[in-house]
Amino acid sequence: MNYRIAICDDEQEQIEYLRGIIADWSENSRISCSVEAFPSAEALLFAYENGGAFDILLLDVEMKELSGIALAKRLRSGGCRAEIIFITSHFEFVGEGYEVDALHYLIKPVAKDKLCEVLFKAAEKLAEEPPYVVISCEGETVKLYESDILYVESFLHDIVIHTKSRDYKIKENISAFEQKLSEDFFRVHRSYLVNLKAVTRIGRGAVTLCGKTEVPVARGKYDEINRSFIVRN
């Protein structure tokens, strides 16, 4: 697996220092990774808003305009599941990391052995991550966790994947996409695939998902979806 790592820091010298440590860690551990750097919180937010996704985030806490803490909160609210590593010059910010489930805090100047240790910890946690699918949308490669997908809707040769944070329209057959997902997903209709974990009510004509979205149920599917719902929940 290739881990995608983002460094967000408004000091170029610090970016290059961290990039060097990550390169050495990757080579010595034989863990493949790619690194992308962002000079501001706004730049990283823009990347996410345009379909970007990362596995590990190294965020400087004290940045101009938007802090690393505020950035992490914004990303988490949008469904970001990346392992977050904060980098700071002050211990006083450590408590705020619990709000965004940060993996670790590193105090500047960052020690090479400590960063390598935390990167190993992040890789171990990511190796245990829940099921996901990878899609190509608007020129970007995006990793979608199954738990974030509410339902999938078919439109001729396209499908729209409705997630908790946004929708993704891609060119793919719904039957082919169904094969990529676990048994937590059920085909309630020729044009709809729902996440059984997101279902809150099952009616004969429709299922209700969290967020009160209703998806039609095909005639004759009621008993089958009830059985599947009980098994998967």
Confidence tier at 45 by pLDDT (50, 70, 90): very high
Query: In the chain, which residue ranges form alpha helices assigned H by DSSP?
Result: 12-29, 41-49, 68-77, 112-127, 174-178, 222-232
Give the rounded percent of residues in the chain with a pLDDT score beyond 90.
65
Give the rounded percent of residues in the chain with a pLDDT score beyond 70.
96
Confidence tier at 97 by pLDDT (50, 70, 90): low
Q: Measuring CA to CA, which residue among 91, 86, 55 is closest to residue 71?
A: 86
Q: Are 8 and 63 in contact (CB under 8 A)?
A: yes
d(CA 169, CA 146): 16
d(CA 42, CA 126): 25
pLDDT of residue 92: 62
Question: pLDDT tens digits for 67-90?
Answer: 999 999 999 877 788 999 999 887
Domains of the chain and any CATH numbers: 3-127 (3.40.50.2300), 135-232 (2.40.50.1020)
Question: pLDDT tens digits for 189-219?
Answer: 999 999 999 999 999 999 999 878 999 999 8
d(CA 60, CA 164): 27
Among 30-39, 97-106, 219-228, the range with the most confident prediction by mean pLDDT is 30-39
Q: What is the mean pLDDT of residues 156-164?
A: 93
d(CA 196, CA 209): 9
Backbone angles phi, psi at 205, to 5 degrees: -110, -15
Q: Is the pTM for the entire model greater than 0.75?
A: no
Question: pLDDT tens digits for 171-191?
Answer: 999 999 998 888 899 999 999
